[in-house]
Structure 1
């Protein structure tokens, strides 16, 4: 795989992170570097680890993972999306979906990185024979996810300030949409 293909792959895997980060930025409506860096770190980390795990387990477990990875991503993202929509209808003091909480960030990081697991499986069958050969793709995927997450958070803050709206419904629909996209791609496009 050439450098351009690796960059395009990294950016395409990071798009879900970007979208979720925009939604989180809109909800927060102010720049919170510690949260944005934490989101970027965990999104980048999971996006880089999942292809490695997919590559590592491809010889033993690929037939088990490939059949269900899209359902896991769909379920996680729908769960988080429905939860976010429900938050819209709660009073301010009753809300629990909070993109500043580590468990929410980790759940989003896992849910948005499930596709990367399948990419790792494909690495095992396309000539990536050693960990050394995976270094550049994994670094590119992690870096793209980190950067696009930070940029997404900042864009979200700008939009949240500009439009002064609560976007839990929009954010929930976006998460459900990402989950549905993953499911449809795996069920009908492959």
Structure 2
């Protein structure tokens, strides 16, 4: 995800806010499809739970970035892509290993993901939103409205992604967890590539 370029007297309009919110929610959407695919027939309540966790984290991250931006720190901009990359690489490798390890017929897919696993994944996929929050500190924006828009978009996209994953999971069987891990690692690589590609 690209960071907004601070501009003098720049004011984000509704369409820009919506586009930003959708852009920030894409990583969470991709990750949630993988999460949904690895579960055993997840219900809508579980999809909504995942969406709420992803949405809440995605709402907080621009606010944290905005606060850091007000302090004029460069740490987030210099290291956020590496932190996201290694977190997603770790989570993805873990899923791939678990996918290869669980080859017994009696091994049933889990009914739900652990809370802290979802929070960690949400943080990893939302570090770009924190970097965007740093940029927003230099623009004339209502940071609360923007953060809520990003969070709501992520809630909807993550819940939808989980439900899409529900239908993909039975088709993939044991390979779903491996694919989900590869998706997470791919998101990490994409974040790193986007940063250095400008």
Q: Which TM-score applies when normalising by structure 1?
A: 0.89
- Give the one of 105, 116, 124 matched to 1:111: 124
Deviates more, 1:108-117 or 1:84-93: 84-93
Matched, 1:84 2:95: yes
- Structure 1 residues 20 and 33: alpha-carbon distance in aligned structure 2, compared to 1, 3 A threshold: same
Matched, 1:58 2:69: yes
Please name the residue that 2:39 is paired with: 28
Find the aligned partners of 1:19 and 1:118 in 2 and give their Cα distance.
20
Aligned length: 185
**Once the 2 structures are TM-superposed, how far is the Cα of residue 127 of structure 1 from its aligned partner?**
1.8
- Structure 1 residues 97 and 58: alpha-carbon distance in aligned structure 2, compared to 1, 3 A threshold: farther
Q: Hey, which bits of structure 1, 4+ residues long, moved more than 6 A?
A: 93-98
Find the aligned partners of 1:97 and 1:179 in 2 and give their Cα distance.
24
Find the aligned partners of 1:60 and 1:121 in 2 and give their Cα distance.
9
- Tell me how large the CA RMSD over aligned residues is: 2.2
Find the aligned partners of 2:188 and 2:130 in 1 and give their Cα distance.
15
- Structure 1 residues 106 and 134: alpha-carbon distance in aligned structure 2, compared to 1, 3 A threshold: same
Please name the residue that 1:75 is paired with: 86
- Gaps in structure 2 of 5+ consecutive residues: 1-11
Residue by residue over 1:65-92, the C-alpha shift from the partner in whole angstroms, topping out at 9 and shown as x without a partner, is 2110000000100000011110112135
Q: Which TM-score applies when normalising by structure 2?
A: 0.86
- Structure 1 residues 165 and 90: alpha-carbon distance in aligned structure 2, compared to 1, 3 A threshold: closer
